[in-house]
Amino acid sequence: MTEELMLAGCLTNNAASQEALYSRFSPRMLGVCYRFAKNREDAEDMLQEGFIKVFSQIHQYRGEGALEGWIRRIVVHTCINVLKKNKKFSDSVDITFASGVGIREEGIPSIMQAKEVVECIRLLPIGYRTVLNLYAIEGYSHKEIGNMLDIEESTSRSQYTRAKAMLEDVLVKKKIMLKPRAKTPFFGATAIK
């Protein structure tokens, strides 16, 4: 079924069209939810809630930009709303670890899609993980993240910096990347795989 037919069917609440849209986009959107969720069950719940919103708001899609991007924005916002509703974001940030983390300025490694790295991201405290996902993977600005999470822009920046440092430590401990030399930029070390 073409995207146009799926959209037309979804606008009339056609179950076959809704199923086709869900089948086409749910695997990728589950990956998005999985990065925010604590476990697979939470990710699946976020996915279901996200697609309920997609189907209820499908009339708002204007065809400007990719349908997948529009769906992804709804799913990301759904994940954030679930975390905020359950107070998982504000209650789970590990401030004690944050005070001892050095600041690093460089970006996230190009191997971000690797399963091992995604699993390591999921080991981060929920606050760090959320900001890292929103900034490095989803492409939101720190100002946008601050607005979404009801935090200061500077808090988003510091959470991101701390998340990068903690992620690097996890990657080194799990031997996914080699420990960088003193003057090597963040994630400038050679990946083992």
**Residue where the block lists tokens 């600005």:** 141
117 Cβ neighbours under 8 A, 6+ residues apart = 109, 111, 171, 176
- Angstrom CA distances, 56 to 43, 53, 135, 187, stand at 20, 5, 27, 41
Q: Answer whether 3-86 and 89-173 agree in fold.
A: no
pLDDT, tens digit, 9 for 90 and up, residues 132-190: 989 988 889 999 999 988 889 999 999 999 999 898 888 888 777 676 655 444 444 44
| Domain 3-86 coded CATH 3.30.70.20 | no
Label residue 40 by pLDDT band (50, 70, 90): confident
Give CA–CA dist 184/106, Å, rounded: 10
Stated pTM of the model: 0.69
Domain parsing of the chain, residue ranges: 3-86, 89-173
Give CA–CA dist 179/80, Å, rounded: 32
Span 8-28, average pLDDT: 94
83 is written with which tokens?
């975390």
Give CA–CA dist 1/74, Å, rounded: 22
Class of domain 89-173: mainly alpha
pLDDT, tens digit, 9 for 90 and up, residues 42-92: 999 999 999 999 999 999 998 888 999 999 999 999 999 998 887 654 434
The confidence score (pLDDT) of residue 87 equals: 65
